[in-house]
Amino acid sequence: MLTFMNNSDSEEEPCNERTSLMSAESPPVPSYQDGLQASEAGEVQAHRKRRTGSSRSPNNVADGDMSDSGVPVRESASENEEEELTLKYGAKHVIMLFVPVTLCMIVVVATIKSVRFYTEKNGQLIYTPFSEDTPSVGQRLLNSVLNTIIMISVIVVMTVFLVLLYKYRCYKFIHGWLILSSLMLLFLFTYIYLGEVLKTYNVAMDYPTLFLVIWNFGAVGMICIHWKGPLQLQQAYLIMISALMALVFIKYLPEWSAWVILGAISIYDLMAVLCPKGPLRMLVETAQERNEPIFPALIYSSAMMWTVGMAKPDTAARGPSQQTWDAAEDGRENHRNPSHADSRMSETRNPVPTRPITSFEELEEEERGVKLGLGDFIFYSVLVGKAAATGSGDWNTTLACFVAILIGLCLTLLLLAVFKKALPALPISITFGLVFYFSTDNLVRPFMDTLASHQLYI
């Protein structure tokens, strides 16, 4: 499913986020899958590795001239080798997602802990019109539920709208919308953020310098995200805008509403991705049918693929030269993540032993990463940030939520390996996170405080 990285601000455009996790390839070959699943018992790491294995296999098999020779060879001899190799790479992919999620969370937590601005209550978004300053608990609960309903319905409407636009190929409109929203994010929110950080540390900066810095930051960001740029820079920008968005949410959502919204969003995500008529699922399927990548501004991908000007858009070319092949659609970006170079891979990949040549006729290794929607980043960070902000300022709670979210992500990736289709990334992680937040805050904290005051160790 997709993540729509839009900004919702108090007064400006109505936007929203969606989240999900998607495995970045076309549906896998059933025979390979069966062979895969038969050879393993249901174990944690094994599945994780298998995900990459299966994620790579369709590319090989999907290739027109390789498919016939590919499948039987693969299933017999090289299957084990591929599995073996996919072990490390499977874990590697999980780490590739761990790192950005961790970075985003660290940025958000650091900001929350140091900059006072984001924990002051200065009003609410128009999407959450009901205030929570009511005297009675029941009233507050009711208000938060109403807020949630409004927010979720806004999100649903926007998602459906986007899907309709996509279906009817109004690409220009979508692109314009995305560009506008990322423009606003990059410039306005960065300005606010920078202003607050400078205020906190009492650093003076004059307006021309500020203007220059923000202009450069924003311009490079726009180019990186929407056009071409080095992969790591693009990833860094995506992480930064996710963090900014999460900070906005943390600031402007009232407390109980935030928790209820988190819960409701994960339920919605579950439904939107898995139900046959869910908007996100339709979006992904349409994108896969048309063999297009989903908009780069909405998805964080851990590795990019070369796209070759052939029938199969998912073949990759290996080589040190970074050439860009323009595909039919304009949204496609071709970058190579050099850290995944591995000659062993290419040899075992190809049933036909070919050398790694930078010729685009041959099927070389592809570096397929896992794609995670930006909304996932945002909501994970919102959870951890809220834990840091309101969990009595306790680091234990923050740490517990962090570990819970990472484990949820692991499990989701594991399920991705099992099911091999786009999955919602939110539910498991958010559930774990919420459970751990509330339990740590209420149960563990008194325990640990008492222990610490007596300096006992368990």
Partner 1 sequence: PALGLFLFTIARDPLRIIILIAGAFFWLVSLLLSSLIWFIAVKASDPRDEPLQKGLLIFGVMFSVLLQEAFRFLYYKLLRKAIEGLVALSEDGCSPISIQQMAYVAGVGFGLMSGAFSMINLLADALGPGTVGIHGDSQLYFLTSAFMTMVLIFLHTFWGILFFHGCEHRRWWEIAAVVVMHLAVSGSTFCNPLYVGSLVPSYLLMAAAAAWAYLLSGGSAQNLRRFLLCK
Chain centre to alpha carbon of residue 325: 26
Which distant-in-sequence residues (6+ apart) come within 8 Å of 345 by Cβ?
85, 89, 365
Contact 59/346 with Cβ under 8 angstroms? no
- For 191, other C-beta atoms within 10 Å of its C-beta total 16
- Residue 373: count other Cβ atoms within 10 Å of its Cβ: 31
**What is residue 339's DSSP assignment?**
G
The stretches of 202-254 forming alpha helices (DSSP H) are: 207-226, 231-252
The CB-of-348 to partner 1 minimum distance in angstroms stands at: 10
Q: Which stretch binds partner 1 (CB under 8 A): 19-27, 76-84, 189-197, 228-236?
A: 76-84
Give min distance, CB of 24 to partner 1, in A: 19
Torsion on CA atoms 315, 227, 187, 182, rounded to nearest 10: -60
Comparison of 45 and 67: residue with beta carbon closer to partner 1? 45
> Which of these is catalytic: 269, 314, 394, 441?
269
Q: Residue 123 region, left (φ>0) first, then alpha (ψ -120 to 50), else beta?
A: left
- Residue indicated by tokens 């397929």: 368
User: Which residues, numbered 419-438, are part of the site for partner 1 (CB under 8 A)?
Assistant: 436
Q: Is 443 in the site for partner 1 (CB under 8 A)?
A: yes
Report 375-414 residues binding partner 1 (CB under 8 A). Answer: 394-396, 399-400, 403-404, 406-407, 410
* Residue position matching structure tokens 């963090």: 243
Of 126 and 399, nearer to partner 1 (C-beta) is: 399
For partner 1, which is the closer residue by CB, 16 or 440? 440
Quickly count: other Cβ atoms within 10 Å of residue 268's Cβ. Answer: 22
Q: Does 95 bind partner 1 (CB under 8 A)?
A: yes
DSSP 8-state secondary structure symbol assigned to residue 29: P
Smallest gap from Cβ 450 to partner 1, in A, equals 6
Residue 269 a catalytic site member: yes
Residue 343, interface with partner 1 (CB under 8 A)? Answer: no
455 binds partner 1 (CB under 8 A): yes
Contact between 328 and partner 1 by CB under 8 A: the answer reads no
Residue 152 binds to partner 1 (criterion: CB under 8 A) = no
- DSSP structural state of residue 423: B
List the catalytic residues: 269, 376
What is the binding site for partner 1 (CB under 8 A)? 39-46, 48-49, 80-81, 83-84, 87-88, 91-92, 94-95, 98, 394-396, 399-400, 403-404, 406-407, 410, 436, 439-440, 442-444, 446-448, 450-452, 454-458
